[in-house]
Structure 1
Amino acid sequence: MAAKSFDMIVIGAGPGGYVAAIRGAQLGLKVAIIEREHMGGICLNWGCIPTKALLRSSEVFHLMNHAKDYGLSADNISYDLDAVVKRSRGVAKQLNSGIGHLMKKNKVTTFMGEATIPAKGKVSVKTDKGTEELTSKHIVVATGARARELPGLEADGDLVWTYKHALQPPRMPKKLLVIGSGAIGIEFASFYNTLGADTTVVEVMDRILPVEDAEISGFAKKAFQKQGMTIMEKAMVKQLDRAKGKVTAHIEVGGKVTKHDFDSVISAVGIVGNVEGLGLEALGVKIDRTHVVTDEYCRTGVDGLYAIGDVAGAPWLAHKASHEGVMIAELIAGGKPHAVKPESIAGCTYCHPQVASVGLTEAKAKEAGYDIKVGRFPFIGNGKAIALGEPEGMVKTVFDAKTGELLGAHMIGAEVTEMIQGYVVGRQLETTEEDLMETVFPHPTLSEMMHESVLDAYDRALHI
């Protein structure tokens, strides 16, 4: 059987791979995409999207419990966990079928199966019907990542869960331990805590949400503790003793180990790149701690072979993967795209309160040698926040004192995951403090706090 030839072959149909395929097709390339499990990848099926559906349910539940604060009454408030999960799975399913439709619409040839790269320019796909041989000068590896498992803390789906089990839980936890306080850990802690689980979060670093600005981390910690969470920082789970319906965690803090009992544990201690079984090493691809090493244009150093998204390293964000997918397709089609700059990519965490940031933290800006000006504005000073009943939060901006460049922005509070984009666009357009000060923000909106935070950095805040 003759090999099928394409201008570009994409391995993995997550937010990196499927977007690369669409953009390639738009540019007139003949594109094939290979997916072994679900169109849309983890993000759409088991990550970003279904978690947001769960968190929306817990947010509505939280509001129902506080109906009195809004002059409303709601009695006998309860939830049906199975129905909450069912809604979340339905949202994922709807989007999953949408990706298949997009592939058809853009005339992308789809192969469901396991891919290997036996030689440069060749891809072999094991499908239900047998093996397909494909050829292309350009192969894009977009195979994503999976949950990291620590020895002794491996998931079993019953007592110890990964994010996948936590999305379809076997029961509602009464006493929950979450190991790791990055975005995934904190989102699940927030969800289950809001629904009534007695939740403990253990973080090995000196603060929760360790990639965020220290001030935002501190604010988040206080908010979570107020909601009844137990937060343990500079702490490590040394071992888990599993018994029937019970897990005893040995947690070390400051050299001292104490034992704590839980009925459910979620492990969210990072991710591992899906680099195995493709034949990458044999081709001469460099792999560093399970991630493919690439240049700023996602090239692996092996001619015609690229890697994008989580498999190619941090930041592990769907929108980074998508943007890289577009860049790669344009590069392959002969264009001259700009490289994706990691520091101009926003991070969003959908806990309660929400957290969002872009650019340098205050500490990182100082470390980089900048002379800085920092502005802050609290939610309590904003009319819309008070009207919403969401007066807890802050917006923080970091500027280069010499040039007025916006170096970073950090927020915590209601809807900040939607607001951050204003600063992202500003940074993309190389805005200065003057541009932002002269921008008229509509009233009453939460976005006015973004304006006030800029004004505050230059001692010009009006409402505080």
Structure 2
Amino acid sequence: MTYDYDILFLGGGLNYAGAVTAAKAGLRTALVEKKMEHLGGTCLHNGCIPSKMYLQAAETVRASKKSHFSGSIRLDLAKLDEEKESMLSMATGAITRQCSDVELIKGEGVLIAPYTVRVDTRTVTAEKIVIGTGSHPFIPEGIVYDGDAVISSDEVLGMQELPEKIAVYGSGAIGLEMAAFFAAAGVETELIWRHDTLLKKAHPMISNQLKKQFEKLGVTLLPEHSIKTAQKREQGVHIVFEDGKEHSVPKLLVATGRRSNTDVIQTNEIEIGKRGIETDVHFETTLADHYAVGDCNGKIQLAHAARAEVLYVVRRILGKKPDTVMMDSVVKFIHTLPCSYAYVGKTRSQLQDEGIHYHESSVPLNGLPYPHIHDADLGMMAVYSDEENFIVGAELFAPQAEELIAIVAMAIAGEMDADLAKRTILAHPTFSESLEKCFLHL
């Protein structure tokens, strides 16, 4: 069979990184995306990039309230949105230029048969197909989403003005980050979630400290509240909880997770599971030569994981025999203010659930001058090693935890034991020196 392309990428999120690599290697490459202005995906346009920009702005507002500052500032959301759009336009342009050797096909792509994709009225074929169609916000049954009073993560980063009050439903990454943003920006904020604790699987001390941090930000916490129905009415969003109690808020952000986009699969030769498109460790689906990467395979919904997956797939297709992507080694984090939560490798709860004997070294940041300067008195760090004292994981709660965790990620990738880690002398005064203390106590 003669194919139109050597490789075709369905979806233009982090899939584009694989397309660029394939094209540079000489493969006839195509990428199908329904909105070319959205090239780069959810993370870039209405996810992790703009959310961090917003959190940085809110942190300035929060920090300005310290007693050694006089006066007050208010976040102009319309101007921030304008700046965000300018940044995203620049980034999208840069990605488009990187794809100069890739044929970009605009349209709704659907996999209708092996090696065959229909894009609107056009049909194209490829010897290899990489599916990277991302995910969409999940709205629980009973909640009437209207994109105005009841919004999702798709709308929250496009708002033109701060609301007087907002309720955030969900305690995952999006819910926690947006609750921190609104509260730090001066908005009356409620956080509603179904469980009794925050970050239920995190180190218990970190869960407790995160709760205290939200209380310090002024967030009203409503644990063990499951929304049965929510709908816009004249007086605002009317909420009925599972226990029958009623509640009203001007605006409700539904942050109850995201679901894999699998509707593009219209052949039964590719199996779809509860979390997304089923793949093996090489991200190959149940149909040979067809791969699924990123959010759509339901493994880890993180942009850097998607990038690692698609680059692994392309390198393997090119015959380069790359090392298998170790999903436990992917850094995961939630950016809250002023401390963020980050972890890599095995967490304490995972080690306990799997019955693995481990050593724990934890260091609270309370009482240390440098963390105090950065309002990180609630912070803490925990590092874990196995029976042979090899570093196997860490959980950090500190400002810029997502950056600090890289030290541990590299220690795990390099199969470093505690004795070797103890030889590392980290700078003072920094947050990293608390990691040094963790290593010394293993």
Tell me if TM exceeds 0.5.
yes
What code does the residue aligned with 2:323 have? H
Aligned to 2:396: 411
Equivalent pair of 1:251/1:258 in contact (CA under 8 Å) = yes
CA contact (8 A) 2:39 2:96 kept: yes
For residue 84 of structure 2, the aligned residue among 83, 88, 91 is 88
Q: Distance in 2 between matches of 1:49 and 1:238?
A: 32
Code of the aligned partner of 1:22? V
Q: CA deviation at 1:290?
A: 5.4
Alpha-carbon shift at residue 211 of structure 1 (Å): 4.6
Please state how far the C-alpha of 1:179 moved relative to its aligned partner: 0.9
Residue identity matched to 2:84: S
Distance 1:89 1:327 in 2: 31
Q: Does 1:441 align with 2:440?
A: no
Structure 2 counterpart of 1:266: 253
2:391 paired with 1:391? no
Task: Pick from 368, 375, 381 the counterpart of residue 354 of structure 2.
Answer: 368
Equivalences for residues 38-187 of structure 1 within 5 A: 38-66=38-66, 68-69=67-68, 73-104=69-100, 107-126=101-120, 131-169=121-159, 171-187=161-177
* Cα distance in structure 1, aligned partners of 2:294 and 2:201: 19
Residues in 2 aligned to 1:262 and 1:53: alpha-carbon distance in whole angstroms: 26
The question of 1:354 aligning with 2:340 is answered yes
Matching of residue 304 in structure 1 with residue 289 in structure 2: yes
CA shift, 1:196, in A, is 1.8
In 2, distance between residues paired with 1:390 and 1:301? 48
Query: Which residue is equivalent to 1:279?
Result: 266
Residues 335-384 of structure 1, C-alpha deviations (whole Å, 9 max, x = no match): 21222121111111111121111122212202212222111112235443
Deviates more, 1:428-437 or 1:204-213: 204-213
Q: Could you tell me which amino acid in structure 1 is paired with residue 33 of structure 2? A: E
The CA deviation at 1:188 is 0.8
TM-score normalized with structure 2 length: 0.94
Residue by residue over 1:170-195, the C-alpha shift from the partner in whole angstroms, topping out at 9 and shown as x without a partner, is 64222221111111011111111112
**CA RMSD between the two structures:** 1.9
For 2:5, the equivalent position in structure 1 comes to 6
Q: How many residues align?
A: 439
Alignment-derived partner of residue 461 in structure 1: none
CA distance 1:345–1:277, change in 2 (3 Å) = closer
Alignment partner of 1:244 is 2:237: no
Within the candidate set 16, 21, 24, 2:22 is matched to 24
SS at structure 2 position matched to 1:291 = coil
Q: Compare 322-331 and 444-453 and name the one that shifted more.
A: 444-453
Please say if 1:204 is aligned against 2:203.
no
> Counterpart of 2:325?
340
5+ long unaligned stretches in structure 1 = 459-464
Q: Structure 2, unaligned stretches of length 5 or more?
A: none
For the 8 Å contact 1:115–1:278, the answer to whether it is kept is no
Give the 3-state SS of the residue equivalent to 1:32 in structure 2: strand
Query: Which amino acid counterpart does residue 353 of structure 2 have in structure 1?
Result: E
* Per-residue Cα deviation, 1:437-464 (whole angstroms, up to 9, x for no partner): 11111222211111112223x3xxxxxx
Kept in 2: contact 1:124–1:132 (CA 8 A)? yes
Partner Cα distance (1:250, 1:455) in 2: 51
For residue 137 of structure 1, report the CA deviation from its aligned partner.
1.2
Q: Secondary structure at the match of 1:358?
A: strand
Instruction: Measure, in 2, the Cα distance between the counterparts of 1:265 and 1:11.
Output: 33
Q: 1:185 to 1:243 in 2, by over 3 A?
A: same
Contact 1:159 1:245 in 2 (8 A): no
In structure 2, the residue corresponding to 1:380 is in which secondary structure? coil
Measure the CA separation in 1 of the matches of 2:151 and 2:160: 10
- Note if contact 2:145-2:231 (Cα within 8 Å) is conserved in structure 1: no
SS at match of 1:410: strand
Deviation (angstroms), 1:30:
2.1
* Residues 158, 170 of structure 1: 8 Å contact kept: no
State the distance in 2 between where 1:218 and 1:76 align.
Answer: 30
Could you say which residue in structure 2 is the equivalent of 1:462?
Answer: none
Give distance in 1, aligned partners of 2:11 and 2:201: 27
CA distance, structure 2, for counterparts of residue 88 and residue 20 of structure 1: 26
1:365 maps to amino acid: L
What SS does structure 1 have at the residue aligned with 2:245?
A: strand
Q: For 2:244, what is the secondary structure of its paired residue?
A: strand
The TM-score, its normalising length taken from structure 1, stands at 0.90
Residue 238 of structure 1 aligns to a residue whose secondary structure is strand
Paired with 2:87 and 2:204, the residues of 1 have a C-alpha distance of 34
The 2-side partners of 1:65 and 1:96 are apart by 36
| Deviation for aligned residue 1:164 | 1.5
Q: Residues 387 and 270 from structure 1, CA distance in 2 versus in 1: closer, same or farther, beyond 3 angstroms?
A: closer
Percent identity between matched residues is 27
